[in-house]
Structure 1
Amino acid sequence: MKAMGKTRRLIAMGLCGAAVTAALAAPSAQAAADAPAGPEQLTASWALTDTGTTARFRGLAAVSRSTAWVAGSKGTVLRTSDGGAHWQDVSPPGAAELEFRDVEAFDGRRAVALAIGEGEASRVFRTDDGGATWTESFRNTDARAFYDCMTFFDRRHGLAMSDPVDGRFRILSTDDGGRSWTVLPTAGMPAAQPGEAGFAASGQCLVSSGPKDVWLATGGAATARVLHSGDRGLTWTAAESTLPAGDPARGVFGVAFRDRTHGIAVGGDYRADQQSPDSSAVTSDGGRDWRQSATTPPAYRSGVTWLPHSRSGALAVGPTGTDLTLDGGRTWRTVDTGSYDTVDCTADFGCWASGEKGRVARLGVRPGL
């Protein structure tokens, strides 16, 4: 799962993180012909799977190369345990009117899904049997609240965030794996800017790394910010990002941290007819300061993930394509033009992406020609 990826052990395989990064770099045919055989000749690309649905999947939890969960529109939740060859519809009963935008999975049987929306449309469900049955563990009863994203530090401790209520972002907390939730006090939360909110676009507007650190991404206001807490959401500090702001459609849409100091932020303006020239930024001090990437993705991006066992490789996705960085987010280049909303990788080199029209893909690595 996204929150626990930093603590997974390396699983022995024939590839290493550097090899996967080299594969994504996709050397030219002539360079491959001239080079000796080796991992650098591998190529990698998204391999679409057949989900059998047209739901839009903005929620994604990669468990391994073989197992993943997706959650999306029309109350749809799917699970695969064979690398995407087959998808099982495990949607909660009676949830067809809900919009799932985030899912966090502990393994192939235990997962927590977040439905977003005003008032009672915001709900949390948990399953312990692979989606055969679900328990609704939270239903928002405050018409002013609108929950966007969710993250877990470990199998027990997690948070969910709502757009500001009474001028401050609202944080839900669980210490029993999502079976019950409590609204945290707002005394340690900075005041929100007018119009500021989170974007429920990829399940990555609230992410964690390690046992206590968590980041909250914002937009819609005069400044696009990233808020950080080092005590599981009790107290927060806010930092300005370099991403576009000043409009309800602009801001930071997703963040990813490979440890408690090194992070990447992506976003821009989600409107297809608007340019997003400053769509990514990086930090090396836990989010206190953000620097615009020297070369950004060419358009709005909503999801981002670090490549497994790499200190410098990461992927960003959006409706117009996938971009790769080999230098920690300072420069990017487009490696695929397919439409995806979110992306997630696991320690055993399982990278998955999902998005509109039922699209779910796994990164396939194969020898170069």
Structure 2
Amino acid sequence: MKRALTTAVLVPLALALLPAAASAAPEGHGLAWTLSPTGVTAQFRGLSAVSRRVAWVSGSQGTVLRTTDGGKSWRNVSPPDVATLQFRDIQAFDASTAVILSIGTGEDSRVYRTTDGGAHWTETFRNTDPNAFYDCVAFFDRRHGLALSDPVDGKFRVLSTSDGGASWNVLPSTGMPPALDGEFAFAASGQCLSVAGGRDAWVATGGGAQARVLHSRDRGRTWTASVTPLASSGSAGVFATAFRDPHTGVAVGGDFLNPTNGVDALGLTRDAGRTWTEPATAPAGYRSGVTWWKHDALLAVGPTGSDASFDGGHHWRQFDAGTFDSVDCTPDGACWASGAQGRVATLG
């Protein structure tokens, strides 16, 4: 229960105290978020950008929205009778097909799937283990994906699908290293589980004596753990990872209860997460979401602002002071961000 309170209550309370307005980019930087009014006040920690025109967001109060016109308008496509659920992660494949994950202990952890743009949803997984708490979901392709739970019986639990989320199976725990005391994943941006290529996956952790990243090369069946330079505590750790390819990645996080402190809150890897180094400069505070934009460009977001790097994460510069939880860019270069009070924006 303490785990549930940490992510589901303390994080929203901390974010509610922070400024909601976006600011202009510093002179000469050229980056700025353009807010896209959604008409709702849900907190959107789940974000899946499909293209410049299509994006989906999911969040509190069982809310799921979809746009097909670049954010000019949003359609509420929430499943029925789910107002008590928190959809902390979403994976969309196009304007019609998406998978959403709700978090929580016991039966609050569920997966739903739609193939008709959200007109109808099918519940494809409901957790029945009171000790499991699912945090995030990620797909290698349209058929193969994973979902992550906090440790059960001393090890992180992983679900697997090979039919696009229509059915799920718990993977054996024999290939998972033991969790540290107090270790868990943060359901803050839908990015505590990330993938690259067709088989590599990474899990971001915190809460224990060390902030770690777990790596699988075989779609979640076996894992290895590495220690990152990020700080770790009950409110600190690695919140998100993003990999440009199976070797080159970034880990962001920090302490959500001290959101303006960016010390020991970002790490870089060039060996698939085996080793991590700190950059020359880093974002000025805790960051919950990160994504690759162009080849060497990265965006990171959090409650105290958004930052960009144009050299693979070695140097960072803040370009916005508004609050966001998650960020995602598409192959055609469109970037989206989402967060509290129904905030969604596109990068200009």
Same fold by TM-score, threshold 0.5 exceeded?
Answer: yes
Counterparts of 1:19-168 in structure 2, within 5 Å, are 28=28, 43-168=30-155
Match of 1:176 in 2: 163
Distance 1:272 1:358 in 2: 23
Match of 1:341 in 2: 325
Counterparts of 1:184-199 in structure 2, within 5 Å, are 184-199=171-186
Q: Deviation of residue 27 (structure 1)?
A: 6.0
Matched, 1:301 2:257: no
Matched, 1:330 2:314: yes
Match of 1:355 in 2: 339
Matched, 1:241 2:228: yes
* Partner SS for 1:56: coil
Match of 1:268 in 2: 254
Q: In 1, are the aligned partners of 2:161 and 2:168 still within 8 Å (CA)?
A: yes
Q: Deviations over 1:284-335 (max 9, x none)?
A: 0000000012211110000000013x1x110000000000111111121101
* Partner SS for 2:103: strand
Q: In 1, are the aligned partners of 2:25 and 2:32 still within 8 Å (CA)?
A: no
Distance 1:254 1:355 in 2: 15
Distance 1:275 1:282 in 2: 18
Q: In 2, are the aligned partners of 1:339 and 1:356 still within 8 Å (CA)?
A: yes
Q: Deviations over 1:206-234 (max 9, x none)?
A: 00001000000000000000000000000
Match of 1:218 in 2: 205
Q: In 2, are the aligned partners of 1:240 and 1:289 still within 8 Å (CA)?
A: yes
Matched, 1:254 2:240: yes
Q: In 1, are the aligned partners of 2:262 and 2:282 still within 8 Å (CA)?
A: no
Distance 1:276 1:68 in 2: 29
Q: Deviation of residue 83 (structure 1)?
A: 0.6
Could you list the structure 1 runs, at least 4 aligned residues long, displaced by more than 4 angstroms after superposition. Answer: 24-27
Q: Deviation of residue 273 (structure 1)?
A: 6.4
Matched, 1:279 2:260: no
Distance 1:183 1:237 in 2: 18
What letter corresponds to residue 252 of structure 1 in structure 2? Answer: V
* Partner SS for 2:32: strand
Q: In 2, are the aligned partners of 1:244 and 1:276 still within 8 Å (CA)?
A: no
Q: In 1, are the aligned partners of 2:259 and 2:304 still within 8 Å (CA)?
A: no
Q: 1:159 to 1:273 in 2, by over 3 A?
A: closer
Higher CA-based Rg: 1
Q: In 1, are the aligned partners of 2:137 and 2:190 still within 8 Å (CA)?
A: yes
**Any gaps of 5 or more consecutive residues in structure 2?**
1-23
More deviation in 330-339 or 60-69? 330-339
* Partner SS for 1:148: strand
Distance 2:82 2:160 in 1: 23
Q: 1:313 to 1:26 in 2, by over 3 A?
A: farther
Q: In 1, are the aligned partners of 2:259 and 2:286 still within 8 Å (CA)?
A: no
Q: Normalising to structure 2: TM-score of the pair?
A: 0.91
* Partner SS for 1:291: coil
What letter corresponds to residue 304 of structure 1 in structure 2? Answer: V
Distance 1:64 1:201 in 2: 23
Distance 2:194 2:95 in 1: 21
Q: Deviation of residue 347 (structure 1)?
A: 1.2
How many pairs align? 325
* Partner SS for 1:120: helix
Q: Deviations over 1:135-187 (max 9, x none)?
A: 00000000000000100000000000000000000000000000000000000
Distance 2:259 2:50 in 1: 35
Distance 1:99 1:231 in 2: 30
What percentage of residue pairs aligned between the two structures are identical?
60
**Any gaps of 5 or more consecutive residues in structure 1?**
1-23, 29-41, 365-369
Q: In 1, are the aligned partners of 2:239 and 2:253 still within 8 Å (CA)?
A: yes
* Partner SS for 2:275: coil
Q: In 2, are the aligned partners of 1:281 and 1:330 still within 8 Å (CA)?
A: no
Match of 2:301 in 1: 317
